[in-house]
A and B are shown apart, each in its own frame.
Chain A
Amino acid sequence: MITLNHYLILAAILFCIGFYGAIAKKNAVAVLMGIELMLNSVNINLVAFNRFLSPGEMTGQIFAIMVIVVAAAEVAVGLALVLNIYRQRLTTDVNDLDWLKW
């Protein structure tokens, strides 16, 4: 029998893998991939809570749809930034993005 805890732990594992990718990767596009994984795992949480705690209402799924919209916007802007940085510095290594350092 698969309970709510199984889904929550699956989401937690995915979140931590995505977090690891976002923290420990050199390439800015890989960091974006990690963030996408994290957003996905949060969506699993929302849908699982919706399914197990209040199946009659759609609130969790609507929240997940909003998260998907924000994720699409985020990845578009993020990739545009990466492209622009690549054009100016010929690198996508996050260690080289140090304009704001003094």
Chain B
Amino acid sequence: MIGLKKRGDYAMVSPLVFWIVAGVTILAALAVVNLTNLIHSALWLVVAFIGVAITYLILEAEFLAAVQVIVYAGAIAILIVFGVMLTRRGDIRESNLFNNYRIFGGLVSLGLLATIVTMVTKTQWAISGAVVPANQVGLLAQNLLGQFVVPFEIAAVLLLVALVGAIIIAKEVRD
């Protein structure tokens, strides 16, 4: 599908698809937070990640959609499920409860949501009518290895350091 499509195809399908995908993503995110079984939360998290990937597709960012599916829905979700399995204790059906900040946190996040929505709707954005370039992956590669090569290399070093650090922390160095 990605190989065959013409630019502008997404603009035609987007309204209904956007509403469905947005609804599913938000419901999945609510399920992640509100379910009491941590495994179910982790699986709903995968649904939310895939919903975000489809949102990227609607936004014509195909490469990011693929990265999202591979990194988030694949690697990070599996990592989280492993984390749940390795730290299981007591009844799994009661493994994801709220702490004492439930009401306070709900009020703060509702206030934050109201603030952001007000700001977003009041701002006038300088929408550009330009078309999305056809060869996005090529442009991404040129930018990543040209203008943004230093952040790119630093990100690589960060990943290496973080993974070595994670192994050392998880292995628990004994002396």
Q: Taking beta carbons and an 8 Å cutoff, which residues of A are in contact with B?
A: 1-10, 12-21, 23-27, 29-30, 32-34, 36-37, 40-41, 43-44, 47-48, 50-59, 61-62, 64-66, 68-77, 79-84, 86-87, 90-92, 94-95
Contacts and interface: CB of A to CB of B under 8 A. Distances in A.
B76 A62 contact: no
Contact of A34 (B33, B104, B140, B161): B33
B2 interface: no
A21 B105 CA distance: 8
B97 A26 contact: yes
A16 B117 CA distance: 11
Interface of B: 14-15, 18, 22, 25-26, 29-30, 32-33, 38, 41-42, 45, 48-49, 52, 55-56, 58-61, 63-64, 67-68, 71-72, 75-76, 79-80, 82-84, 86-87, 89, 95-102, 104-106, 108-110, 112-113, 116-117, 120-121, 125-128, 130-133, 136, 139-140, 143-144, 148, 151, 155, 158-159, 161-163, 165-167, 169-170, 172
Contacts, number: 247
Contact of A55 (B22, B113, B120, B128): B128
A5 B82 contact: no
Contacts of A59: 143
14 contacts: A6-B18, A7-B55, A14-B52, A23-B101, A23-B104, A24-B98, A26-B98, A29-B42, A43-B52, A47-B55, A58-B139, A75-B80, A77-B165, A79-B82
Main secondary structure, interface of B, reads: helix
Contacts of B109: 16-17, 19-20, 23
Q: Which of B68, B108, B162, B167 has the most CB of A within 10 A?
A: B162
B129 to A, nearest CB: 9
Contacts of B104: 23-24
